[in-house]
Amino acid sequence: MTNYLLICRSLTYAQRASKVLKSAGIPASISRIPKEIATNGCGYCVRLAEKWLSRSLELLNNTGLQPIKVYAWYGYENYAEV
């Protein structure tokens, strides 16, 4: 199963995004950006399952919490920007 990482500009944005998604019934968790895709040192992302991606992006765009980047995570250190 593919998971997606929604890269956020800060921990606060990741927390807000996670809260919006969870209030809509979408399971999401906050984690640090994996070192393989981190461009500016450390950062935070919201991780969610593939089936929730389009709905999540729609909700976050409507609330002004759009992610900086979106990555598909296919497993151990295997990422692709979407």
Residue 20 pLDDT: 96
Domains assigned to the chain? 3-81 (3.30.70.1530)
Query: pLDDT of 17-31, one tens digit each?
Result: 999 999 999 999 999
pTM: 0.89
Nearest-angstrom CA–CA distance, 71 and 78: 10
* Residue type present at position 28: A
Query: pLDDT of 47-75, one tens digit each?
Result: 999 999 999 999 999 999 999 999 998 87
